[in-house]
Amino acid sequence: MKLPTDPAANLAALIRCASVTPAEGGALGALEDMLKPLGFSVERPVFSEDGTPDIENLYARRSGNGPHLMFAGHTDVVPVGDEAAWTHPPFAADIANGEMYGRGAVDMKGGIACFIAAVARHVEENGGPKGSVSLLITGDEEGPAINGTTKLLEWAAGKGEKWDASIVGEPTNPDALGDMIKIGRRGSLSGSVVVNGRQGHAAYPQLADNPVRGLMSLVDALLYPAFDEGTKDFQATNLEVTSIDVGNPATNVIPAKATATFNIRFNDTWTAETIQAEIHNRLDQAAGRTKYRPGKKTPVDYDIVWRDRPSHVFLTRDDRLIETLSQSVKTAIGRKPALSTSGGTSDARFIKDYCPVVEFGLVGKTMHMVDERVALADLETLTQIYQRFIEDWFERGAA
């Protein structure tokens, strides 16, 4: 039987499935076809929740005596955008000048294709790892992420699944394969500050309370001083005001309400709770300032509304996992990757509650863009890195 040892063939099969979130598009079926001949048992649980589309997911395990390594990722992809702008159709897996084109080529069907090829080569050459390997694949990473990784982890853990380490195959490399392993992520939190004023005539401000004046003080307090200067492992915490809304079409009317919305990316100096408390504190102090509200006796009347769930900050400290992966990259590329916590959030933030997790995949340059594509040479190199990692990690055992 021909095993799925060729990452380009695996990737082509996946790209040809139009799995734009929330559609499964045949992608999980294609994965199942690759995994079964390798001895994986495959389950495809569907999760639902009111107000969100049902999502099909995949959990596959190849059981063995020894530690348990989980590879995590997603087969859903973002929309293609302007299809006419693509040099090659987004679901055709055309190859030109040594690159394969298609939506999901790097984010992240390519990473999955390479990992499966790595396991297949290991099975072919060594009979398979001395332990268990599982793939935890969601169809809901690029969408609301409600019926995906979180529920899949709970579902698998509920069946008694336990993992010793996880690698997420997101495209972590900014420019070239081997640049960067992500060993943690900053936390993220969004909220809106709503200032309640009193509407009035712009010529009679003493009869009104302009909420824009109050909001100026509050926003100022959010932006200055800096929350911290960064830590050994993380960039400085940063708050961006993403919108200021008054919605007032008249120039002679003082509005009744003004809103500022912000997003903060915080490092391990903070938790979601302490950063929220700090923001409350800053706003309360600023509400009493009269710089922009001379003569006003009462503090700024404001509410804060937190949006969504916070993403918690995390840092993986499993030296064996990180060192084994770094060394595998060095063997293939000749240099050690940077260990980074930069960038946005990923599903690793959910996995970290179950086992140590790192992220390493392809080069992210074209992700979410028209003409998303991957160098065939990168597919081969990433497969070699994953294979080396699997061999060495199982050899060394879990921490």
Q: Does 351 bind Zn ion (CB under 5 A)?
A: no
Shortest Å, Cβ 170 to Zn ion? 5
Residue 104 or 197 with smaller CB distance to Zn ion = 104
Least separation in angstroms between residue 44's CB and Zn ion is: 20
Q: Nearest residue by C-beta to Zn ion? A: 107
76 is catalytic: yes
Q: Nearest Cα to 194, choosing from 308, 297, 298, 287? A: 287
Binding residues with Zn ion: total (CB under 5 A): 3
Q: Pick the closer one to Zn ion by CB: 236 or 370.
A: 370
- Residue 76 binds to Zn ion (criterion: CB under 5 A): no
Least distance (Å) from Zn ion to the CB of residue 138? 10
Kindly state whether residue 300 participates in binding Zn ion, applying the rule CB under 5 A. no
User: Given 6, 24, 99, 141, which residue is catalytic?
Assistant: 141
Residues 97-126 that bind Zn ion (CB under 5 A): 107-108
378 near Zn ion, rule: CB under 5 A:
no
The 156-195 site mask, x for binding Zn ion (CB under 5 A), equals --------------x-------------------------
Cβ 74 to Zn ion shortest distance, Å = 6
170 labelled ligand-binding: yes
Measured from the CB atom, the residue of 76 and 318 that comes closer to Zn ion is 76
Query: Is 372 tagged catalytic?
Result: no
Binding mask 261-290 for Zn ion (x = CB under 5 A): ------------------------------
When the beta carbons of 57 and 210 are compared against Zn ion, the nearer one is: 57
CB closer to Zn ion, 99 vs 170: 170
Q: Which is nearer to Zn ion, 103 or 293 (CB)?
A: 103
What is the C-alpha separation between 129 and 119, in angstroms, rounded? 8
Q: Which of 6, 24, 56, 76 is catalytic?
A: 76
**Which residues form the interface with Zn ion (CB under 5 A)?**
107-108, 170
* Binding-site annotation: residue ranges: 74, 107, 142, 170, 368
* Binding-site annotation: residue ranges for Zn(2+): 74, 107, 142, 170, 368
Residues annotated as catalytic (active site), given as ranges: 76, 141
